[in-house]
Each structure stands twice: as structure tokens, then as C-alpha cells.
Amino acid sequence: MTKSMHYGVAVLFALSGFALAAVGLKPIFADLLILSAYYLLLAGSWNLLAGFAGQYSFAHIGLAAAGAYATAAMVNWAGLPGWTAFLAVPVFTAIVGGVLGLVALRVRGVQLPLITFAFAGAFAVFLAAAADITGGSMGMQLPKLFAGFDRSPYLVLAGLLTGLFFLVQNLVLDGRLGLLMQSVRDDEEVARGIGVDIFRVKITAFVITAALAGLAGAFYANYVGVLAPTMLSMSEMGMVVAMAVIGGLGHRYGALAGVLVIRTLEHFVRGFGAEYTLVIITGVALVVVLFFREGIIAAFGKRLDRAAQQKRWAGSGAH
């Protein structure tokens, strides 16, 4: 795909919410799509960090939770309207992401996943223990962004946010930063040897992706209206990682494909037992890793290439 086509995809998603709102979806399907936008922001930003910059942080779901609870604090304690969180929260989580980026500069290998996983775990413990502040396991409530039961405004907002994500992703990957991130991912020592500023690249990657995770958290809080420490469960982070891996880690639309697969599975599995959801998703992830190591996007692309080659060979043989 050309650059203009990638930006066209961003515009298409931004407009899709208006179209879906006009159609008038049933609440169950509207909920499915709205929360899919939340997961796309998370899985897509994590793919940007891990798949393109090679930084395997497991604090991503913690950053989303921080964004959600910060939104609730702004609405409940500061009396600010919910929409202000879309401006302030990404700045807050970007700062936290910058701090995590500083940690990333000091560790190698499995140390970064362990440290960031510890951050998310410690934050979950704090949310559960500080009941006077966060509501503990009972949850923290806040008014929804739009009153009433109409999902149409949220569909529009979901479309705009996913369009914004693809716009940011395109600007990063099509620019100098994207090339530098991938050079650090492929071989950090070689990148340093050719003059790449490793410090700036890692910090920038953490800041941008943390801001997107915070944006996802603000969206979740404004839509759901009830927050609980379960946001930081192991299964939630596993879900985000699985979405990126199944779709294709390091592929521009890998997270989108992964979200479509997993959210569709969730929708149908819920009918006969939600407790099997994680088991089924794990099984799908294993199949993809074993047989489609680069994800379903790459596998689909290779199949299309082979089909095109066979068609050309058949055409040349006919002459």
C-alpha cells in the first residue's frame, strides 16, 4: 500500500463511526464495536512499541488503567467535563511512559518485561487497597460522557479515535522516527554504531505509545462509567499481546486483524461459556505462532502474492 492509501485508511476509520451511528446498530453490536476500538488503541500502540521499536513492555494495560482512573478523578473530584480527559490524560500517561523509557535504557532482555509487569501489578494492588480513594474492588464510578442509552455518539467517538490512532501510526512509521525505531529493534548495537540516538528513540517510543494507552483508558472510563482493578488483570494484558501477535507483530495493520479475530471469538464464545474465552484465545495464538509465525496479515499477504504470481505464470504460458 502507498502512503496515501494508509492515510486513506485513517480517514475511512474516522468516518466509519458516523456511518455506523446512522445505521442504528443493536446495542450488543454497538458495544462490541465500541470496546473493540478501545482494544485497537491498546493493541495497536503496544504493537508500535514492541513490534516496531522492540521494547516489550507489559505496563501498557497499567497505563490504560492510569488514564481511566485519572479521568474519573478529573470528573469526580475536579468537576471537569469528561471530554477534557482526552486532552489532559494522554499528557499525564506520556510522562509516566517517559519514566518507563528511562528504565528501559538501563535494562536488557527479559528485565524490561519483568520490571514493567511489576509496575502494572503494583498499581493493581494499590487500586484494590486504596479503597478510600479508588473504591477498591467495589469499583469507582463516574458519569458517562453522553447521557442516556444511545450508543451512537460513542460509535462516532470510537471512529474518530481509531482514525486518530492510524494517523499517528502513519506519521511515526512513515517518518524518520519509524526507521530509527526499527533499526533499534533489529540490532541496537549496530544502530548505536551508525549514530542512532538510542536514548531519544526509546524515550520517544515510550512517550507516544503511553499517550495512546492513556487515551484508550480515558475513552474506556467515559464509556463504561465504572472502573475496577480487574482492568489490570493478567488476562487483559494477555489479550492485548495476543491481538498484536495473532494479527502480526511489527505489521501496520496487525493489531487491527488481531482485534477482529479475538473480539469476534469473544462474541460467539460468550454464548456458551465466557470462562472458555481465554483458553480458546490461547489456542488460537498457539496455532498462529506455530503455523503463521509472522501473523495472519503476513500469511494472507504471502498467499495473495503467490496467487498473483501463479496468475502471471498462467498468463505467460497461454502466450
Tell me the pLDDT tens digit for each residue of 178-226: 999 999 999 989 999 999 999 999 999 999 999 999 999 999 999 999 9
198 and 53 Cβ atoms separated by less than 8 Å: no
Q: Which of 109-113, 242-246, 269-273, 315-319 has the lowest mean pLDDT?
A: 315-319
Q: What is the pLDDT of residue 271?
A: 61
SS3 227: strand
Q: Mean pLDDT of all residues in the chain?
A: 89
Residue 314 has pLDDT above 60, yes or no: yes
Cβ(143)–Cβ(225) under 8 Å?
yes
Q: How far is CA 21 from CA 144, 150, 287, in A?
A: 18, 10, 36
- pLDDT above 70 as % of the chain: 94
How many Cβ atoms from other residues are within 10 Å of residue 203's Cβ?
19
pLDDT of residue 256: 95
CB atoms within 10 A of CB 290: 8
Question: In angstroms, rounded to a whole number, what is the distance separating the alpha carbons of residues 206 and 239?
Answer: 20
Pairing state of beta strands 140-141 and 226-227?
antiparallel
Mean pLDDT along residues 102-112 = 78
Instruction: Single out the residue of 19, 61, 1 nearest to residue 160, CA to CA.
Output: 19
Instruction: Determine the angle formed by the axes of helices 60-76 and 234-247, rounding to 10 degrees.
Output: 120
Name the residue with higher pLDDT: 9 or 276. 9
The larger pLDDT score, comparing residue 295 to residue 37, is at 37
CB atoms within 10 A of CB 213: 33
51 or 274, higher pLDDT: 51
The pLDDT of residue 296: 84
Q: CA-CA distance, 168 to 173, in Å (whole number)?
A: 9
CB 124 within 8 A of CB 232: yes
Q: What is the CA radius of gyration of the chain?
A: 20
Q: How far apart are CA 247 and CA 281, in angstroms?
A: 12
Average pLDDT over residues 157-180: 96
Give the three-class secondary structure for 141.
strand
Residue 89 neighbours by CB distance under 10 Å: 28
Residues 6+ away with beta carbon under 8 Å from 188: 54, 198
pLDDT in tens, 256-313: 999 999 998 888 877 665 667 777 777 877 888 788 877 888 777 777 667 667 777 7
Please say if the pLDDT value at position 317 is more than 80: no
222, 74 contact by CB (below 8 A): no
Q: Is the pLDDT of residue 42 over 90?
A: yes
Instruction: Of 155-164, 230-239, 293-302, give the lowest mean pLDDT range.
Output: 293-302
Mean pLDDT is highest, among 116-120, 187-191, 232-236, 270-274, for 187-191
